[in-house]
Amino acid sequence: MRVGFIGLGSQGAPMARRITEGGYETTLWARRPASVEPFADTAAKVAGTPAELAAASDLVCLCVVGDDDVREVLGGDTGVLTGLAPGGIIAIHSTVHPDTCREIATLAAQHDISVIDAPVSGGEPAATAGTLLVMVGGDDDVVERARPVFATYADPIVHLGAVGSGQVAKILNNLLFSANLGAAMSTLELGEALGVPRDRLCEVITRGSATSKALNSIAMFGGTLDNLAPIAGALLQKDCRHAASLAGAASAPEGAVFNAADAALLLMNHAR
């Protein structure tokens, strides 16, 4: 299988490198030439447009930031859908609204192109180590065709159901992570008010029964959100908005969504 990869950020770049090193014929495209320069020591090729990349690929992986970015690289005269041949697959690794994936899948089906949503979790360290979590939504046969490529950078690969279900799982994961961040910060602030230094309380909780990924992330940055916020704040706020939209459509209880959204907003305030 020939693979195209678009979105060579901190997470996408090591994913693309592992695909290339896994022996797959790989083509890259990026808006900025600097993004492809680190691949000069690999066998990866560089395309001039997303359409050119797609013409050289059987599977196109997208790891761009958001919904509008996905639509931009897929559409238009130079987009992926223009160049990808019938029978091709588009894998959306970006975290976007499930409806966006379903809309794209419907459009792509008119060209006999399959779409799977495959958002990831674990960040750059997991991508580099080949241990990303991939949450996949799509038809069984299409997912199985893409699975060997995903296996170059991911373990586990969890197939959750139809197109969009991977995004639902990722958004819910990030919703709970945001809520955990808010709870962790409240606990640290309360401890400080009661005379317990943040760094000492972080040490206790990270080794105790109340530890969590969120608390560990805060502890890594000295017990504050000051350094974490610029990295995660905007992305988590986007995902909490998506969660609120999903909850509204499903008539689900609103409390958990709004609590997590408040935590994401706290992150954004620290980012400013």
Q: What are the catalytic residues? A: 170
| 165: phi then psi, degrees, rounded to nearest 5 | -70, -30
Give the C-alpha separation, 171 to 240, whole Å: 7
Provide the 8-state DSSP code for 272.
Answer: -
Long-range contacts of 213-217 (CB under 8 A, 24+ apart): 213/177, 213/180, 214/177, 214/180, 214/181, 214/183, 214/184, 215/180, 215/184, 217/181
For residue 46, the cross-strand partners are 28
Inter-residue contact 129 to 154 (CB < 8 Å): no
Q: Give the 3-state secondary structure of residue 233.
A: helix
Selection from 58, 61, 2 nearest residue 29 by Cα: 61
End-to-end CA distance of the chain: 44
Tokens of 71: 């639509």
Cβ partners under 8 Å of residue 118, min gap 6? 61, 91, 92, 93, 134, 135, 136, 137, 138, 146, 150, 166
Dihedral sign of CA atoms 101, 89, 78, 46 in order: positive
Residue 56: Cβ-neighbour burial (10 angstroms; 0-12, 13-18, 19+): middle
